[in-house]
Chain A
Amino acid sequence: MTSKATEEQLLYAKILEKGMLVGLVLLFVTFGLYVFGIMPAAVPLDEIAGYWSQPVHEYLVAINTNFLHWDHLPTGWSWIKLIGKGDFINFIPIAILSGVTIMCYLAIVPGLFKRGDKAYAIMALAEAAILTLAASGLLSVGH
């Protein structure tokens, strides 16, 4: 055993770093597009403050009624349909920042199996499955 990080740990760190950098840079870019009015927002900038004090369900009903006019509320991955809007394009970097960990886990699984570290390979797969389930939107509940 040495004080150096293992191969899997370094691989995990490398992917995490790249995902984090891409996510953060994109977040600043997309927020700039939104806040400087370069891309029009689904909920106008001067009206958003009227909604953020409400519980999330009421907020979603209100913005859907007033701006989106969909037959369902904009939950789960439905924001993808709105990435042409300045506010919703910000969800791309947020999803990258929230999703990079899944990539990290999947990337280290083959190496763990190769080294016969089955317990950790299974735990890594289980973690990736749990995070994917959370990301899928299947677990959505509310007030």
Chain B
Amino acid sequence: MTKSMLGKIGGIYAALICALTLHPAWALASEAGASNPVPPAGDTAWWVWPLVLLVVTFFMGIVAVLGGVGGGVLYVPIISGFFPFHLDFVRGTGLLVALSGALAAGPGLLKMNMASLRLAIPVALIASTMAIVGAMVGLALPTNVVQILLGATILGIVVIMFTAKKSAIPEVKQADPLSSALRICGIYHEASSGEDINWCVHRTPMGLATFIIIGFMAGMFGLGAGWANVPVLNLMMGAPLKISVATSKFLLSITDTSAAWIYLNKGCVIPMMVVPSLIGIMLGSFVGVRILKVAKPTFIRWMVIAILAFAGVKALTKGLGIDLF
């Protein structure tokens, strides 16, 4: 079911990309459609926007932890939709936000052997290469086109979050020849049951091929890609859920690095945006972890889906030049 759903979403997305990039009407559409609703400077003191950014990303960090999503996927659509920053800088900052979170979590996950380097290396090679391509394409396309595609992608993520199931320890009857040759397997200690769980993966060629699209989208939109990594590693390739989540988080440190360099070299990084965003997300994440103990995860997850749907519609309408809200 997941395979067919991912296939359908991939097909719709590819068709949308073709339609948008090939149709001259879109390319000629005014950049004004994607311009920002708030006057850039006006009489506002210089420190107001970074402060607002700090506060908003603080709450974003809390919601991201409680909703089980990465910061990048919330950051880019919300900040590009409702703040005066141009999408180019929001994407560059979004990648650095996702990258910092992954760098902070990566060492611990690797040491605990929850993130698997053997699983990550081949996947990262494909995803990071495609993230570079995605970043280059994203920076070459008109802003309104990227904004429309971003809106469509966010709404696609909403559908994935709405429908995708998770499998704690998927049944992998036999490892495929490629994963056997690469020895992509391992043992992890499941603390809740006290057991050592042997795991291996299957459908490796299909999984690796899917990371071509995931990497491209991560680079193009600066989203991070945990929302796509986890379902593919867990449901398609059959890695246990904890291994999938941890490896996905670690993977972002590689995928986002490659795209981040493209944005950095292009000049899409403004420290006055990056640092408050990083601090806000990090502090929010610390608080979120504490709230997680008492929060109702189902409600929070629905809230995240609603926020993403709202931000996705906003990005779509902004790209189309429709002032809906």
Interface residues, chain A, CB within 8 Å of chain B? 1-6, 8-10, 12-14, 16-17, 19-20, 23-24, 27-28, 30-31, 34-35, 45-56, 59-60, 73-77, 87, 90-91, 94-95, 97-102, 108, 119-120, 123-124, 126-127, 130-131, 133-135, 137, 139-143
| Prevailing SS type, chain A contact patch | helix
Distance between Cα atoms of A55 and B30 in the complex (Å): 13
- Asked if B41 contacts A16 (CB within 8 A), the reply is no
Out of B100, B116, B143, name the residue touching A97 (CB < 8 Å): B100
Q: How far is the CA of A73 from the CA of B164 in the complex (A)?
A: 45
Closest to B219 in A: A134
Across the interface, which residues of B come within 8 angstroms of A30, CB to CB? 271
- Chain A contacts for B124, CB-based, 8 A: 127
Give A47 to B266 CA distance when docked, in angstroms: 21
Q: Considering residues B36, B103, B188, B269, which has the most beta carbons from chain A within 10 angstroms of its beta carbon? A: B103
Chain B 179-214 interface mask (CB, 8 Å, partner A; 1/0): 001100111110000001000000000000000000
Please tell me if the beta carbons of A9 and B113 are within 8 angstroms of each other in the complex. Answer: yes
Contact indicator B89/A56 (Cβ below 8 Å): yes
B128 touches A13 (CB 8 A): no
Bound together, the chains give a CA A137 to CA B274 distance in angstroms of 20
Nearest A residue to B254 via CB reads A101
CB distance from B176 to the nearest CB of A (A): 15
Is the CB of B121 closer than 8 A to any CB of chain A?
Answer: yes
Closest Cβ–Cβ distance, residue B294 to chain A (whole Å): 29
B174 adjacent to chain A (CB < 8 Å): no
Interface residue? B4 (CB, 8 A) = no
Which residues 99-147 of B have a CB within 8 angstroms of A? 99-100, 103-104, 106-108, 110-113, 116-118, 121-122, 124-125, 128-129, 132, 136, 139-140, 142-143
Are B257 and A143 neighbours in the complex by a CB distance under 8 Å?
no
Given contacts A4-B113, A98-B99, contact A75 B266 (CB under 8 A): yes
Cβ A134 vs Cβ B271 within 8 A: no
Given contacts A46-B46, A130-B258, contact A55 B274 (CB under 8 A): no
Query: Which residues of the other chain, A, contact B116 by a CB distance below 8 angstroms?
Result: 9
Whether B103 contacts A20 by the Cβ 8 Å rule is yes
Determine if A24 and B107 form an interchain contact, defined as CB atoms under 8 angstroms apart: no
**Residues of B contacting A27 with CB < 8 Å?**
275, 278
A56 contact from B41, B254, B266, Cβ within 8 A: B266
Quick check: A53 and B187 within 8 Å, CB to CB?
no
Across-interface contacts of B129 in A (CB, < 8 A): 130
Minimum CB distance partner of B87 in chain A: A55
Chain A residue, CB-CB nearest to B121: A123
Report Cα–Cα, A4/B111, bound state, in Å: 8
A59 to B272, CA, bound (A): 14
A127-B261 CB under 8 A given contacts A52-B84, A55-B88, A97-B103: no
B96 contacts A by Cβ under 8 Å: yes
CA distance A102 to B254 in the complex (A): 9
User: B139 touching A141 by the CB < 8 A rule?
Assistant: yes
**Residue contact B265 to A94, C-beta cutoff 8 Å:** no
Assess whether B117 is in contact with A51, with CB atoms less than 8 Å apart.
no
Docked Cα-Cα span, A66 to B22, in Å, equals 37
**Cβ contacts under 8 Å, B273 to chain A:** 52
A10, A127, A135: most-surrounded residue (chain B CB, <10 A): A127
Q: How far is B136's CA from A124's CA once the two chains are assembled, in angstroms? A: 23
Q: How far is the CA of A143 from the CA of B146 in the complex (A)?
A: 12
Q: Which residues of the other chain, B, contact A97 by a CB distance below 8 angstroms?
A: 96, 99-100, 103
